[in-house]
Structure 1
Amino acid sequence: MFRRLFWFLTGAATGVWATTKVNRALRRLSPESLAATAADRALETGARLRTFAHDVRAGMAQREGELQDALGLTGADDTRRPAPRELDTDLPAPRRGIAYDAYDRKDDH
């Protein structure tokens, strides 16, 4: 009798354990859970990319300083920089990045 009770309780415990595992897996694979996981990973990836970009900029600035020191460009003239060019919006189409045929045959007729 104790043998049967032992195996009955073992089977019941195994059934409860398996049911719990299956329910957890179903919740984890639900569309809402998958969307939340994807969003979390996207945010994490974005944070890592921002950190990487910050590290790259810091390294670039450090290396630029090293190169300026090595080339002797760190004088009083270092503060003067040329003014940035303004964009001209009245340029013809090819200079604004619009592709066209350089030899338009419609104009010949």
Structure 2
Amino acid sequence: MFRRTFWFTAGAAAGVWATTKVNRKLKQLTPESLAAQAANKAIEAGHKLRDFALDVRDGMAQREAELGEVLGIDADPELPGPRRIAAIENSNNPKYSKDPRYVERSTYSHNRNEDH
């Protein structure tokens, strides 16, 4: 009789264990769970990509400093001034000249919300 009780208990425990395992796996395969897992993997990949980009940037800065030192290039060169836009400041066309006689006075309103 003791054997029967032992095997009955062992079978019941195995059934509970198997049922628990199957239910956990089914919960992992629900659409919400799969979406959450995919989002977590995407965030993790983004962090790894950002870390890689920062490492590359640090390596580039270090290598540029090494090359500048070897070549004798100034590490902090003066930046050039802002570029002028040729279409706006065309000195050959009096319409765009800075001379106050040629300043165009437009009466057209550029408000697109007005009724035409």
Tell me, yes or no, whether TM beats 0.5.
yes
| SS of residue matched to 2:80 | coil
Q: Bigger radius of gyration, 1 or 2?
A: 2
* Partners of 2:55 and 2:14 in 1: CA distance: 52
Considering only aligned residues, what root-mean-square deviation do their CA atoms show, in Å?
A: 2.4
Post-superposition CA distance 1:31-58 (Å, at most 9, x none): 1111100000100100110111011011
1:82 aligns with 2:80: yes
* Partners of 1:25 and 1:83 in 2: CA distance: 64
What displacement does 1:87 show?
8.1
Which residues of 2 match residues 1-109 of structure 1 at below 5 A?
1-74=1-74, 78-83=76-81
* Partners of 1:28 and 1:88 in 2: CA distance: 62
What displacement does 1:80 show?
1.6
What displacement does 1:30 show?
1.0
**Aligned length, in residue pairs:** 88
With over 3 angstroms needed to count, the CA separation of the structure-2 counterparts of 1:72 and 1:31, relative to structure 1, is: same
Identical-pair percentage? 62
* Amino acid across the alignment from 1:51: D
TM-score (norm 2): 0.67
Structure 1 outlier segments of 4+, above 2 Å: 81-89
Q: Which has the higher helix share?
A: 1
Post-superposition CA distance 1:74-96 (Å, at most 9, x none): 27xx422334657889xxxxxxx
| SS of residue matched to 2:55 | helix
* Partners of 2:84 and 2:29 in 1: CA distance: 53
* Partners of 1:43 and 1:11 in 2: CA distance: 43
Return 5+ residue gaps in structure 1 as ranges: 90-109
TM-score (norm 1): 0.71
With over 3 angstroms needed to count, the CA separation of the structure-2 counterparts of 1:20 and 1:86, relative to structure 1, is: farther
